Structures are given as C-alpha cells and as structure tokens.
Amino acid sequence: MLKATIFDMDGVLIDSQPLHFMAEKETASHFGHPIGEEELKQYLGWREEEFWKELIRRYSLPATFEEMREFDRGIVEGYLQEAAKPDESLAKILLKLRGRGMKLAVASSSWKRAIGIVLGGLGIREYFDAVVCGAEVERGKPEPDIFMLAAKKMGVGARDCAVVEDAPSGIRAANTAGMLSIALMGKVNAGLDFSEADEVISSLDELPGVIAKNSCAGRISGHF
C-alpha cells in the first residue's frame, strides 16, 4: 500500500521550467556563452552546483560557480514571485490525496528560498509533511538521496512512496530508491525519454487515480 507521494517542484507543482530556461540563458550569455533551450533540457533535474560547474568546464567560462549561481538566482526569484499564484485545482488534488491518508513531500533540486516562494505563492505549503531542497543532500539526481531523505522525514519506507517527476534523471532516482516512478509529461519535456517510468501522466488530475491503481495492484512493476 502506498503511503506517501513525493513531488518534484519545477515542472510538476508549477510550470516554472520555461522561467528557469530564460534565467539560465540570461546568465550563460552574461558570462560569455549563449546557450539554447534544447541544450538546457539535457540538464533537467541537475542540482545548481553540478549544472553551473559543468557549463564552466565545458565552455571555459570566466566565472566561478558562486557568481553564476547568484546571478541566476536573482533572476529566477523575480520570475517565481510573479508566476506563483494561488492554485485551487492543485490544492484540490493534494487534499484528495491527503484525504486518503497519504503523506506528501516536496523534494526539489532547487534552493530553499525558491521553494518557499513557490509553495507560499501557490498557497499549498500546509499540505506537505516534509520539504527537501538540493542543498540538504550530498548527491543530486539521478542518485536517490533526495527522495530517500524525504521518505525519512515523513517516517515512511521507500517502497511505500510514489514520486512525481518531469525529468528522466528524477525518474532514475526514484527507481533506484525503489519507489513508484510517475513521469508528468508536458510541452517542455515531451521529447525526453521516459521509458523507465512506471507510469506516465499528462496532467496532475490523473495522479489520484494512478496512486489508487498502484496501491490496489500491489505495485506490480519491473522496478520492484
């Protein structure tokens, strides 16, 4: 029986990935290397430090990771404050899951302040039993650390958790953790490979049904 659902944030709880792409383009260009959206999609789910250090290494950019991170964060936080507005339909989905006794968590590679801006702006912070940011774990996705910590904070076992992700690296992390992996497909990630996901949905409206199905079916999956 599934007891908890763990949500990635960007691209799952809020359609913020285009905002991150815009900020990353501005930042990369500012520090000397214009970058396109298709290339940025390769890094979906990466932690900030790993992403910026990889760009610095690959393109020999004249900047430190800290400089690029702080420049990008300033842009992103402004975008998020404008975009994160109360979302009644999302709140209803979360309430439905909680009404079935499901614990909920957010596990995002983003930083703590950004997560706070989004959850507060959407008006959904109260629904979550645990919130984990990328800085709280040593290894980022596709390693399972962030999801394992979320499960630990909720007091549930890994096999009792489902994970909702929009990036292949997040799906791999969920599978490695032994959790039910659910890919949320949208316009931004439509061309990515989600063949490793246990379930694929196109809207969070489908999530309660998928959770119920896998709970009743005893989670029959190639990953378990």
Q: How many CA atoms lie within 13 A of 216 on its CB side?
A: 7
Residues known to be catalytic: 8
Phi and psi torsions of 165, nearest 5° = -135, 155
8 Å CB contact between 69 and 28: no
Helix (H, G, I), strand (E, B) or coil at 200: strand
Helix (H, G, I), strand (E, B) or coil at 94: helix
Helix, strand and coil content of the chain, in percent to the nearest 5, comes to 50, 15, 35
8 Å CB contact between 14 and 83: yes
- The tokens describing 18, both together, are 């285009």
Q: Dihedral sign for Cα 127, 133, 139, 142, please.
A: positive
8 Å CB contact between 55 and 68: yes
CA distance 86 to 15: 13
Contacts of 172 (CB under 8 A, 6+ apart): 141, 142, 196
